[in-house]
C-alpha cells in the first residue's frame, strides 16, 4: 500500500479537503499529500494563522478505495458559534447566539 501524509491537530482532528477540520469518521474528506514537505508547508501555514494549533504530520496507508486509514477523533468538532465563543473566551449557552 502507498503511504500518504495527513495533518492531525491536538484534538485528533484532521485537516480536510474543504479547508476545515474534520473528525476522521469519513476518510474521503481528509486532505492527504503524497509528499511530506507539502504537508509540512500546509501545517506551517495553518499554525501561522492559529497560534494555539499543535499539529503534526502523520504518515498513513491508503485502503483499497484510496482513502487514508485514520482513527476518528473521540473529541467532537466545535461548531462555528462555539469556536467563535471559545476564541473570545466566553461560553454561550446551548441555543444562544452571540450578538454582533
Q: What is the mean pLDDT of residues 67-88?
A: 74
Are the C-beta atoms of 19 and 66 separated by less than 8 Å? no
- Which carries the bigger pLDDT value, residue 22 or residue 89? 22
Q: How many domains does the chain fold into?
A: 1
CA distance 51 to 70: 25
Tell whether 69 is covered by a domain: yes
What pLDDT score was predicted for residue 86?
53
Structural domain span for residue 42: 3-77
pLDDT of amino acid 79? 66
DSSP letter at 27 equals G
Using CA atoms, how far residue 70 sits from 2, 24, 82, 90, in Å, is 14, 6, 25, 32
Let me know if residue 89 belongs to a domain. Answer: no
User: Does the pLDDT at position 16 exceed 50?
Assistant: yes
Calculate mean pLDDT across residues 70-97: 64
What is the average pLDDT across 42-63?
A: 96
- Confirm whether 61 is domain-assigned: yes
- pLDDT exceeds cutoff 70 at 58: yes
What is the structure's pLDDT at 92? Answer: 46
pLDDT, position 1: 47
Amino acid at each position: 500500500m502507498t503511504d500518504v501524509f495527513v495533518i492531525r491537530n491536538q484534538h485528533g482532528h484532521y485537516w480536510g479537503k474543504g479547508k476545515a477540520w474534520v473528525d476522521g469518521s469519513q476518510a474521503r474528506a481528509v486532505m492527504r499529500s503524497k509528499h511530506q514537505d507539502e504537508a509540512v508547508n500546509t501545517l506551517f501555514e495553518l499554525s501561522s494563522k492559529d497560534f494555539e494549533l499543535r499539529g503534526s504530520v502523520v504518515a498513513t496507508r491508503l485502503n483499497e478505495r484510496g482513502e487514508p486509514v485514520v482513527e476518528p477523533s473521540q473529541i467532537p468538532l466545535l461548531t462555528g458559534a462555539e469556536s467563535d465563543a471559545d476564541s473570545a473566551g466566553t461560553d454561550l449557552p446551548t441555543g444562544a447566539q452571540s450578538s454582533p
